[in-house]
Amino acid sequence: MDRLLEYTIPFKGLSEGVHEFEFQPDTEFFEEFENSEIYDAEATVRLDFIKRSSFMQMKFHLSGTVSIMCDRCLEAYNQPIENEFSLLMKFSEEVDENEEEIVFLHPTAHSVNVAQYVYEYIVLSLPLQKIHPNDEEGNSTCNAQMIDRLNEHLIEEEEDDDEPVDSRWSELKKLLDN
């Protein structure tokens, strides 16, 4: 957990205004998070930290590449990421559960650790379907041996009109046609 201490921002000593911080999450950073799907990273997170008397706004700018596992062939590949996120923090002794977009800090707080936010924003920057990108000719760059093995087990559906269909399924199929 000591690795994540460098992501702590001591805001009590900062003057009001805009402050810039830069972080370089790497393999050791992602190892700190249980069940992380990211193996390695060459990423930069630039944080514009805007401090005011009653609130703070953070603008995260993410760029770089992360190494993740392909959903199709289960081999690691580098996924480029590029994204921006904003986070608003307010000082309050009471937490307003209706405010989903705001993080509430106790008025006596003097620092905030942004490691969890950095991790979550990088994960949110990943595509839903993680698959090797195609090459210039449009061919898959997945592991060819694994694709061949998958194709061996591919089950093709055949429409067999000769086989009688259970009448219950026919009635249900009519619902889909409507």
Note the pLDDT of residue 138. 81
Q: 138: which strand partners?
A: none
**Reported confidence tier of residue 137, pLDDT bands at 50, 70, 90:** confident
pLDDT in tens, 64-121: 999 999 998 889 999 999 999 999 998 888 777 767 778 888 888 889 999 999 999 9
Percent of the chain with pLDDT over 90: 47
Q: What distance in Å separates the CA atoms of residue 167 and residue 112, rounded to the nearest whole number? A: 64
The residue among 86, 85, 22, 17 whose CA lies nearest residue 53 is: 17
- Are the beta carbons of 3 and 32 closer than 8 angstroms? yes
**Reported confidence tier of residue 161, pLDDT bands at 50, 70, 90:** low
Name which of 45-49, 59-63, 129-133, 152-156 the model is least confident about.
152-156
Structural element, H or E, at residue 64: strand 55-69
The residue with greater pLDDT, 171 or 49, is: 49
Note the pLDDT of residue 24. 94
Model pTM?
0.78
What are 13's two structure tokens?
Answer: 């000593």
Helix runs in the chain, H state only? 27-31, 115-124, 144-152, 167-177
Every domain of the chain and the residues it spans: 2-124
Please list, in sequence order, all residues whose beta carbon lies within 8 angstroms of the beta carbon of residue 3, skipping any fewer than 6 positions away.
28, 29, 32
- Are the beta carbons of 131 and 141 closer than 8 angstroms? no
The residue among 115, 65, 61, 67 whose CA lies nearest residue 83 is: 61
On the question of pLDDT at 150 being above 90, the answer is no
- Are the beta carbons of 60 and 118 closer than 8 angstroms? yes
